[in-house]
Structure 1
Amino acid sequence: MSPRTWASGIRRTLTAANRRRQAVVGGWRDGIAERTGRVRTVLRPVTDTVTEAGWVVGVLAVALLVAGPLLHWPELLVAGLFLALLLLIAVAFVVGRQPLAARLDLARDRVIVGERANGYLTLTNPSSRRSRPLVVEFPVGAGRAAFELPALAPGAVHEELFAIPTEHRAVLDVGPVTAVRADPLGLLRREAHLSQMDTLYVHPKTLRVEGSAAGLVRDLEGRTVPKVSDNDVSFHALRGYVAGDDRRHIHWKSSAKTGTLMVRQFEETRRSHLLTMVSSRLEDYASDDEFEMAISVAGSLGTQALADGQQLSAVASHASLPSAGAQRFLDGLSGLTYDWKAKHLVDVARYLSLDELAASVIVLCVGSGVSITELRRARQYLPVDTRVIAMRCLVGQEPSVRWLGDLAVSTVGRLEELGVAVRRVSA
């Protein structure tokens, strides 16, 4: 074994171990949050108002007030009283109501990764008294935007234009707009919501896959399946007439030759139906870039199928995704994240619904963490008459296609190479 191969194997092992560690830690964190949810809800009015500095001052005040008399140390008692006085003064800064009204408007509620997204914030003082200067904040996804609002006269209006970062695919909750009242020392902080929350969908990058409908799904008029039916469009054979058969299907020429009534039989046809399966299991990807590419591949194939008039179904490792239209489909992909309890690809294939199993083509979008053996096992649980294609998203790799029986395994190194991959597997 060459040193380069040995080093590459070590890197893959360390990456896989790190991803497993992240999955375990994430599962523990979610479990703790679920168990302590009720307690945190009860204590929220206090925990949302008292800052970290306030808790430190409060604990010190109690400790000094207790330790002073016990140790017969008057200075400690004075210090405790001083800290308690600071907390009482801080309360005076946060009590009362703030007479403000806010309106938050997004220029667009759906953008593609990297596109510009702007919003407008309008603040009004509808009261008959002048408002105090304060800080206005509102969440934008995991971050927060803050503005210094000057004092507003009665009926005055203040406007702010802001930009929303869209470097990453996400579903961003914008708002609600919050008026923040706090004391100068930052011991207490009281928030008042002034508007409703809005949502911005940052869709994944997709591209038009020319010829995908003709290449992946050749059955635009319906593909026959090995199931005989008495009423369809694909003729199969003739059989003797049985009471109750539709007389419209009697074949009169054959009946005249044989002297008995003969009726047509048909093979059932299946409408063009694409199913995209995206693994949301952390260990199935060596990096976040692989996960993003898998989502973009699924999004590109799915939107193209809908544009071509095909039926679409979409699933992730932990749940089904909306697929009634291109917009809803991309909205679902925008919010797709790793799931700490996600099933293995084999288990996802095993527990697909009957409607999902009716697909004529199934595309598995996975990363480098899914082995060829696991892909083969997943194929065993999918219908034999369904075309199955595995899209392995390996960032920077050269595109290639490998056939494992009736399973096509395509490697995609860049999203722009998806069209080449589709043409290769459909050749």
Structure 2
Amino acid sequence: MSTPQSEPIGPSNTRSRLVGTREGVLADAVVNVVRAADALRTAAARLGARIASVITPLGWVMLGVIPLAFAAGYVLGWMELAAVAWAGLVLALIAVLYLVGRSPFHVGLGLEHRRVVVGEPAGGVVTVDNPGRRRTLGVKVEIPVGEGLAELAMPSLRRDARFRQQFAIPTRRRGVITIGPVRTVRADPIGLVRRELIWTDTVELVVHPRTIGVPSTSTGLIRDLEGAATRDLTSSDVAFHALREYQAGDERRYIHWKSTAKTGTYMVRQFEQTRRSHLVVALSLAARDYASDEQFELAVSAAGSLGVRAIHDGRTVSVVVSAVTAEFAKRTNYAVRSLATHLPARLLDDLAVVESAASALRIRDVARVAADEVVGISVAFLICGSTPTAAELRAASASFPSDVGVVAIVCNPDALPGFRRVAGLSVLTIGYLDDLRIALARSAAVA
């Protein structure tokens, strides 16, 4: 019985694919030739990519016109075309000179403030240092600012000189504006070539929604303030309510012995339950809950004002917004997204990027989900536009237990501010952000 011969074991790489297991001068020469060809091909591809990156569309047109003009001029004897070809060649050579060299700049990008309020002035600053031994020529400096572009003309710099220039950043709308990277641009006057050099990373400017200071006295609308007693009775707390007869399971330390001696029956102390108020601010992101973008922006500002005031007061607060259902999802995403509430700045950072969506949960579903997920709610603010009807707002408030104070804030710049109570629900209508402070103060007086 013959045993199968084992196959020779060798590396599985490019050399084995070229010459197999052969050795010797010829095999090494083949490998070196292929290796050199690969290196040349890689270098040529890299050089071609760099050349293609600096040639503008006009430059490509010129590269096509020059050989055609030469051919037509000398073959057909059309000397005017030959003159055009020579002129184009001279312009192309001059354009190449603008790409020679690299300036040893040190470029920095900074912001005056990392966070600003919508509508407030904001700016950045670019600094360029020349640490080299020779004078540098002036170049154009470009800084992308969101969807726009800031252009600065940098003059020539002598040794150890610095160029510092401020530029404005528009803050017409809240959000996160990406600024940078700073790049210098070298280009010939005609626009045949353009060389961009990137010097910095990007930075972000957060534009917060406008908020208003809601005084703590305005929270008199909240009937369950921090540490205030409720009507819920308990056998263990600090606010004494009354005496009652002893029942099985009561703790003996709460037996009132003087009353027991008088009545001959064990009597225990009963207390009013106190609890820490837990505010919930629920903001609808559903586009159907708003008649205009102005209503939505007002609602975001109202949510930020209430949340920031509660954080400053040291209250337990949860700020939730509608979840958005994915475009091709089979089922509606019945959920809410909680925003950061440990610092006012972090809450405003999250509110700066919220956007309305057609597939977001409406205020009624937001209230129902928030009532199920957030524990220990004492007061809930439901913020929406003018589209939800009074019946829908009542249905939203019915999602919370009866001992929870529910306040609906309807944001409508076209309506007169007002306050009304509807079946246990307080409804505040505001037309401007300043109306929020006034409405809360008036409702507190009524309460």
How many residues are aligned here?
372
1:350 aligns with 2:368: yes
Contact 1:357 1:382 in 2 (8 A): no
CA shift in 2, pair 1:218/1:61, >3 Å: same
Rounded Cα–Cα distance in structure 1 between residues aligned with 2:290 and 2:89: 53
Question: Residues 411 and 129 of structure 1: is their aligned pair in 2 closer, same or farther, counting only changes over 3 Å?
Answer: same
Are 2:300 and 1:282 aligned?
no
SS state at 1:392 partner: strand
Contact 2:224 2:378 in 1 (8 A): no
Match of 2:220? 214
> How far is 1:265 from its partner?
5.6
Greater mean alpha carbon deviation, residues 232-241 or residues 372-381: 232-241
Which has the greater radius of gyration?
A: 2
Which amino acid is 1:164 matched to?
I
Contact 2:364 2:395 in 1 (8 A): yes
Cα gap change, 1:58 to 1:424, in 2 (>3 Å): same
Please tell me whether the aligned partners of residues 145 and 177 of structure 2 are also in contact (alpha carbons under 8 angstroms): yes
Which of residues 340, 343, 361 in structure 2 aligns to 1:322? 340
DSSP-derived class of the 1:408 partner:
strand
Give 1:420's aligned residue.
438
- The Cα offsets for residues 191-220 of structure 1, whole Å up to 9 and x where unpaired, read as 443234333333333223342222234423
Structure 1 spans left out of the alignment, 5+ residues: 1-45, 66-72
Following superposition, the deviation at residue 393 of structure 1 comes to 1.0
The equivalent residue for 1:300 is 305
Letter in 2 for 1:398: L
Match of 1:116 in 2: 121
Instruction: Output the CA distance in 2 between the equivalents of 1:88 and 1:223.
Output: 87
Distance 1:55 1:304, change over 3 A: same
Q: 1:400 aligns with which of 397, 418, 438?
A: 418
1:312 lines up with 2:317 in the alignment = yes
3-state SS, counterpart of residue 213 of structure 2: coil
| 1:272-326 deviations in Å (ceiling 9; x for gaps) | 2222222223332222221221122222222222333322221222332222122
Question: 1:133-192 deviations in whole A, cap 9, x for unaligned?
Answer: 322222333322111112323322101122333333333333332323455555665544
- What is the distance in 1 between the residues matched to 2:198 and 2:256? 75
Q: Aligned residues: percent identity?
A: 40
Q: Within 1, Cα distance between the matches of 2:280 and 2:89?
A: 64
Which residue number corresponds to residue 391 of structure 1?
Answer: 409
Closer/same/farther in 2, CA of residues 183 and 353 from structure 1, 3 Å limit:
farther
Instruction: With the length of structure 1 as denominator, give the TM-score of the two structures.
Output: 0.70
User: CA, structure 1 residues 373+241, in 2 after alignment: closer, same or farther (shift >3 Å)?
Assistant: closer
- Name the stretch that deviates more: 110-119 or 293-302: 110-119
Question: Structure 2 vs 1, CA of residues 247 and 85 (structure 1 numbering), >3 Å: closer, same or farther?
Answer: farther
After superposition, the C-alpha distances for 1:302-357 in whole angstroms (9 at most, x for unaligned) are 22223333222212223322221222222322333334542222332233376635
What is aligned with 1:336? Answer: 354
Distance 2:298 2:112 in 1: 28
Q: Secondary structure at the match of 2:434?
A: helix
Query: Secondary structure at 1:374's aligned position in 2?
Result: helix
Q: Is the 8 A contact 2:206 2:349 kept in 1?
A: yes
Q: Secondary structure at the match of 2:400?
A: coil
